[in-house]
A and B are shown apart, each in its own frame.
Chain A
Amino acid sequence: MSEDEGAAGEAPGAPIPAVETVGLTRRFGTLTAVDALTLSVPRATIFGLLGPNGAGKTTTLKMLTTLLPPSAGTARVSGLDVVAQPREVRREIGYVPQLVSAEGALTAWENLMVFARLHGVPRRERDERVRQALEMIGLAEASGVIVKKFSGGMIRRLEIAQAIIHRPSVLLLDEPTVGLDPVARRTVWEHVRELRELLGTTVLLTTHYMEEADELCDAVAILHRGRMAALGPPAQLKAQVGEGATLDDVFAHHTGNALDTGGTYREVARTRRTARRLG
């Protein structure tokens, strides 16, 4: 293992976390969307940011993907600073936004080829890489089909394939199963697990489904109004609250049962729009 080679300037011996934030803060005017978030995601884990609309999950992801500069604090992906080394960070990550992000007027193959080329996958490897990604995500048969004709679950899977075509070390998924039916949701979960197992990809996802966090994540951070309310493996968090507790109980315990507070009109509208497009 080369984990302890470390980057210059890092503490020797300590593995570099896949994602690390220290006091990460983002303000919009007077609203503090993300408030001094400090967390560390070990490599090859599935980590969930859990919280209702408006908890600051998407804003956190946008900062990690370099789309939004932080107001304060730092964020590193694979040891690379999102402000100082944005291009290097973008090479390390795969990103699936909450919104529908596959191009409906192109085929699945074309959608993947665009990202293979933008990421500089060498010409002689591209066809093979696209084929592998399609196969891995179970869309090999639909390669030449226009994405408009896809179901919501297929679109999500294609988007994940787009995000892994360059073999990123960290995959960031924003509400990956919003708007999907239970079967499609399970399929997405299986593919996420498979990615971690086969490729060692670290997966950081946001969700407001307690069930999803419970099933899929090795560890979760519960966000509430931009602050971290709790952090740990789901089982541990549940045990702390009491016998037979669910993640819902954990959430209520830490936030004072505030599951449906927060969330601006715009955020709610966006979630519903995504759900409608996929559903």
Chain B
Amino acid sequence: MKSPELAGPPAASAEGARPGASTRDGHPQGILGAVAAFAEQALTIAWAETRKLRRDSTEIFTRAVQPVLWLGIFGVIMGRARAIPTGPVGYLDFLVPGILAQSVLFVAIFYGISLIWERDLGILHKYLASPAYRTALVAGKAASAGIRALLQAVIVGLVAVLMGAHLRLSPLPLLGSAVFIVLGAAVFSTFSLAVACVVKTRERFMGIGQLLTMPLFFASNAIYPLSLMPRGLQVLSRGNPLTYQVDALRALMIEGGQSVTGLGLDLAVELGVLLVLVAVAARLYPTTVN
């Protein structure tokens, strides 16, 4: 069992008495080294998360049920009633990006529960005692939420096409949509991680998650246009990252879809909010294990 190579000169022999001995593992120094290390660490976390996901993929399908109901029932009836003015596009087409964003939101907003789970085990302790950047640990989680959201988007997209929605299926719009789907998932999953760091128990977290989803959904342009809202709600909606995600998806995914707020602003808001949330969550991360 004791193979001879194990007795070879290890980094941690008595010579390790020098602090920061050069034989220690680690990424190269300097800004580039730090960026490489950050990317490697974030990808590692995302890799581990997707491996876990692969072994429990039924969840992705069960998550598709709700969007199907929204499109198949709410969308069809409201479309028939012609109660919501959506300009040149039909109501179903208008609704698809909103419901897609909503289904991504509903999954991402509960993502923080995995952090509480990892804290209740000792997994998080070990991550935090490793040299990985805290921001990389958070960004890795956000990235895996993005990957999960893409799988979900494929299913919702297929359902929408089957129902006769007019999606733009050429590469560039698809790529643009994918970017905003990943960004939206990353924003709300990071928000969820930060909330988990603060509330600390599963029960409280589930309660808060429930509390957050509906206001985020209704105070947005997901199922009706901004122009239809009373002034107060309009202001609220413009402070909601979901609005910008839906706006971008509407412009990118739908035949004849138009952006109201502007794609540039949409991207800036999503990226800006994500950066702030990653920084906040990374600051809160270590408090979870105390």
Does B126 have its Cβ within 8 Å of any Cβ on chain A? yes
Is A95 a contact partner of B51 (Cβ separation < 8 A)? no
- A67 x B129 contact (CB < 8 A): yes
Cβ contact within 8 Å between A87 and B131 = yes
Q: Given A67-B290, A120-B37, are A146 and B55 neighbors across the interface (CB < 8 Å)?
A: yes
A169 adjacent to chain B (CB < 8 Å): yes
Is A194's beta carbon under 8 Å from chain B? yes
Contact call B16/A169, Cβ cutoff below 8 A: yes
- Taking a contact as CB atoms under 8 Å apart, the answer to whether A110 and B12 are in contact is no
With the chains together, A114 CA to B132 CA distance in Å? 11
Taking CB as reference atom, which chain A residue is nearest B120?
A99
Tell me the complex Cα distance, A167–B5, Å.
14
CB-based contact A2/B17 at 8 Å = yes
- Comparing B21-29, B192-200, B216-224, the segment that makes contact with chain A is B21-29
Task: Assess whether B289 is interfacial by the CB under 8 Å rule.
Answer: yes
Does residue A51 face the partner (Cβ distance < 8 Å to B)?
no
- Given the interface contacts A93-B129, A198-B7, does A110 sit within 8 Å of B48 by beta carbon? yes
Tell which of B6, B51, B132 touches A118, judged by Cβ atoms closer than 8 Å. Answer: B132
Given A79-B19, A167-B12, answer yes or no on A120-B125 (Cβ-Cβ < 8 Å).
Answer: no
B74 close to A (CB within 8 Å): no
Identify which of residues 118-159 in chain A touch chain B, using a CB-to-CB cut-off of 8 Å. 118-122, 132, 135-136, 138, 146
A78 pairs with B19, CB closer than 8 A: yes
Residues of B within 8 A of A110 (CB): 48, 51
CA gap between A88 and B18 in the complex, in Å: 12
Determine if B12 and A136 form an interchain contact, defined as CB atoms under 8 angstroms apart: no
**Of A101-109, A207-215, A235-243, the one touching chain B:** A101-109
Instruction: Tell me if A117 is interfacial: C-beta within 8 Å of chain B.
Output: yes
Count A/B pairs, Cβ under 8 Å: 156
Bound-state Cα–Cα, A118 to B42, Å = 9
A117-B41, A118-B41 given as contacts; is B125 within 8 A of A97 (CB)? yes
B26–A200 touching, CB < 8 Å: no
Given A62-B289, A110-B48, is A118 in contact with B5 using a C-beta cutoff of 8 Å?
no
Given A91-B25, A199-B10; A3-B17 close (CB under 8 Å): yes
Known pairs A3-B17, A43-B17, A91-B26; A167 contacts B129 (CB<8 A) = no
With a CB–CB cut-off of 8 A, which chain B residues contact A1? Answer: 14-15
Task: Give the Cβ gap from A17 to chain B, nearest Cβ, in Å.
Answer: 9
Q: Is the CB of A92 within 8 A of B24?
A: yes
CB-based contact A119/B2 at 8 Å: no
Partner of B44, one of A117, A194, A201: A117
CB of A269, distance to nearest CB on chain B (Å): 11
Interface residues on A, range: 35 or more
Query: Could you tell me the distance between the alpha carbons of A91 and B11 in the complex, rounded to whole angstroms?
Result: 12
Nearest CB on A from B192, distance (A): 20
- A44-B14, A114-B44 are contacts. A132–B6 as well, Cβ < 8 Å? yes
Cβ of A23 < 8 Å from any Cβ of B?
A: no
- Check B5–A88 contact: CB distance below 8 A: no
A168 CA to B21 CA in the complex, in Å? 11
B116–chain A nearest beta-carbon distance, Å: 13
* Residue A60 interfacial (CB < 8 Å): no
Which chain A residue lies CB-closest to B137?
A118
Closest residue of chain A to B48 (Cβ to Cβ) is A114
CB-contact partner of B125 in A67, A80, A115, A122, under 8 A: A67
Indicate which residue in B1, B122, B130, B290 contacts A119 across the interface (CB closer than 8 Å). B130
Instruction: Determine how close the nearest CB of chain A comes to the CB of B267; give it in whole angstroms.
Output: 30
Q: How far is the CA of A31 from the CA of B47 in the complex (A)?
A: 41
Q: How far is the CB of A12 from chain B (nearest CB, A)?
A: 13
Contacts of A5 in B (CB 8 A): 17-18
Given contacts A78-B16, A110-B51, A166-B25, A97 and B122 within 8 Å (CB-CB): yes
CB-CB under 8 A for A101 and B52, given A87-B131, A199-B12: no
Residues of chain B lying within 8 A (CB to CB) of residue A65: 125, 129
B-contacting residues, A10-52, CB 8 Å: 15-16, 43-44
Please name the residue on chain B nearest to A78 by beta carbon: B19
Q: Is B170 among interface residues, defined by CB-CB distance under 8 A?
A: no
The distance from the CB of B49 to the nearest CB of chain A, in whole angstroms, is 10
Q: Are A90 and B122 in contact (CB under 8 A)?
A: no
Find out whether the CB atom of B26 lies under 8 angstroms from the CB atom of A119: yes
- Residues in B with CB closer than 8 Å to A169 are 11-12, 16-17, 21
Nearest CB in chain A to that of B44: its residue: A117
Q: Is B13 an interface residue (CB 8 A)?
A: yes
User: Across the interface, which residues of A come within 8 angstroms of B5, CB to CB?
Assistant: 132
B56 at interface, CB cutoff 8 A: yes
Among all A-B residue pairs, the 4 with the closest Cβ atoms: A99-B122, A97-B122, A101-B122, A169-B16
Q: What would 13 more interface pairs be, CB under 8 Å, given A97-B126, A119-B26?
A: A96-B126, A97-B125, A98-B122, A101-B122, A105-B56, A114-B47, A118-B44, A132-B6, A167-B10, A169-B17, A198-B10, A199-B13, A201-B12
